[in-house]
Amino acid sequence: MRHLWGIFATAAVVATIFTTFTPLGLTFGLGSGIDDIFMPPAEGTNIYFPTPTARPLPKIGIVAGHYGIPDDTGAQCPDGLREVDINLDIAARVQQILRSEGYDVDLLKENDDKLQLYSAMALVSVHADSCNFDNLEATGFKVAPSVASNQSNKSERLVNCVYSRYQEATDLPYHAGVTADMSEYHAFEEIDSGTAAVIIETGFMLLDRQTLTQEPDKVAEGIANGILCYIYNEDATPPGDRLP
Residues 218 and 110 in one domain: yes
Q: Which helix (H) or strand (E) holds 186?
A: helix 186-190
Is residue 57 very low, low, confident or very high in pLDDT (cuts 50, 70, 90)?
Answer: confident
Please name which of 174, 230, 180 lies closest in space to residue 202, comparing C-alpha atoms.
Answer: 174
Residues 71 and 168 in one domain: yes
Residues 69 and 28 in one domain: no
Residues 15 and 78 in one domain: no
What distance, in Å, lies between the first and last C-alpha atoms of the chain?
95
Residues 68 and 155 in one domain: yes
Other C-beta atoms lying within 10 Å of the C-beta of residue 22:
11
Which pLDDT belongs to residue 53? 58
Which pLDDT belongs to residue 180? 86
Q: Is residue 211 a part of any domain in this protein?
A: yes
Q: Is residue 46 a part of any domain in this protein?
A: no
Q: Is residue 25 a part of any domain in this protein?
A: yes
Please name which of 67, 54, 194 lies closest in space to residue 125, comparing C-alpha atoms.
Answer: 67
Q: Is residue 134 a part of any domain in this protein?
A: yes
The whole-chain average pLDDT of the chain stands at 83
Q: Summarize pLDDT for 59-109 with one digit per residue, the tens.
A: 999 999 999 999 999 999 999 999 999 999 999 999 999 999 999 999 999
Residues 92 and 33 in one domain: no
Residues 211 and 152 in one domain: yes
What total number of domains does the chain contain? 2
Residues 17 and 69 in one domain: no
134's CB contacts (< 8 A; 6+ apart) are none
How far is the C-alpha of 214 from the C-alpha of 84, rounded, in Å? 16
Which pLDDT belongs to residue 172? 97
Task: With beta carbons less than 8 A apart as the criterion, state whether 149 and 193 touch.
Answer: yes
The more confidently predicted of residues 48 and 52 is 52
Is residue 51 very low, low, confident or very high in pLDDT (cuts 50, 70, 90)?
Answer: low
Q: Which domain holds residue 19?
A: 2-38
The more confidently predicted of residues 216 and 30 is 216
Residues 20 and 66 in one domain: no
CATH of the domain at 233: 3.40.630.40
Residue 47 predicted with pLDDT over 90: no
Please name which of 215, 224, 177 lies closest in space to residue 86, comparing C-alpha atoms.
Answer: 215
Q: Is residue 141 a part of any domain in this protein?
A: yes
Residues 99 and 200 in one domain: yes
